[in-house]
Amino acid sequence: MTLSRPLDPAGAPRALRVVPPPAAIDLPAAERAAGDFLRALGVGTEVEKLAATPGRMARAYAELFSSPEFDLTTFPNDEGYDELVLARSIPLRSVCEHHLLPFVGVAHVGYLPRERILGLSKLARVVGHFAARPQVQERLTKQVAGWLQDNLDPAGVGVVIEAEHTCMTVRGVRAAGSTTVTSALLGSLRDDARSRQEFFSLTGTSR
Ligand SMILES: [Zn+2]
């Protein structure tokens, strides 16, 4: 990820341009490989109804591994707001790096502001940014929290992710309906029992 921090007067909105790492996506090669993969599994692609499937597979995964650039706009915390800011139930989709099958769910992302506050939609952007690659849920949770800590410098950050992993619900143990919950807490959301409890009760995930 490339970050540029434009110079601006203190007190002005400030934007960090967040640029995903250039994905070296070769769609024709991915399409050829998807065709080989299907045929190796005994799924013939010569019939007309499946002829376009390898291309669709390639484009579907390319989409799952792409996220748009965005500006992480922050504003001075002029009101001195120092209570929890929480974006709840942000839709999440990613791909498990073990099976390359999707996992889907929600993320709850909160922080305790210090000098600066964040445009609210940006919390969802940060989640989408880190979800757009092969992942494990534990690392995704920590990456979102750590990135906000580093770039917003809040008093505390909390991230909870609840997701259903299709590698676990449609294959393997076939534990349909089961979800996996992970959390990452930093700063006073980790150290202060009252803040931590408030965070978990507002996210609806009691700890
Ligand atoms: Zn998996």
Active site (annotated) includes residue 108: no
Q: Where in the chain is the domain with CATH 3.30.1130.10?
A: 76-203
DSSP code of residue 98:
T
Q: Tell me: the pLDDT tens digits for 9-38?
A: 556 777 777 776 666 889 999 999 999 999
Joined tokens for residue 168: 């676990």
Report how far ligand 1's centroid is from the alpha carbon of 168 (Å): 7
DSSP code of residue 150:
H
Catalytic residue among 97, 115, 138, 197: 97
Contact 77, 146 (CB under 8 A): no
Task: Kindly tell me if the per-residue pLDDT of 94 is higher than 70.
Answer: yes
pLDDT score recorded for residue 2: 44
- The CB-side HSE value for 205 (13 A sphere, CA atoms) comes to 21
Q: Looking at this protein, which amino acid is placed at residue 29? A: A
Q: Which position has the token pair 């504003």?
A: 75
Q: Is the pTM of this model over 0.85?
A: yes
Active site (annotated) includes residue 99: yes
Report how far ligand 1's centroid is from the alpha carbon of 78 (Å): 45
Q: Is the dihedral of CA 56, 62, 65, 66 positive or negative?
A: negative
Active site (annotated) includes residue 98: yes
Q: Tell me: the pLDDT tens digits for 99-126?
A: 999 999 999 999 999 999 998 889 999 9
Fold of the 76-203 domain:
GTP Cyclohydrolase I, domain 2 (3.30.1130)
Report how far ligand 1's centroid is from the alpha carbon of 100 (Å): 7
Report how far ligand 1's centroid is from the alpha carbon of 165 (Å): 7
pLDDT score recorded for residue 14: 77
Give the strand pairing for 85-96 and 134-135: parallel
Q: Which of these, 67, 64, 83, lies nearest to 20 by C-alpha position?
A: 67
Q: Tell me: the pLDDT tens digits for 123-170?
A: 999 999 999 999 999 999 999 999 999 999 999 999 999 999 999 998
Report how far ligand 1's centroid is from the alpha carbon of 117 (Å): 35
| pLDDT tier for residue 7 given thresholds of 50, 70 and 90 | very low
Active site (annotated) includes residue 165: yes
| pLDDT tier for residue 206 given thresholds of 50, 70 and 90 | low
The gap from C-alpha 47 to its chain's centroid, in whole angstroms, comes to 38
Catalytic residue among 31, 129, 135, 137: 137
Active site (annotated) includes residue 96: yes
Q: Which residues surround ligand 1, an ion (CB under 5 A)?
A: 96, 98-99, 167
Joined tokens for residue 52: 């376009």
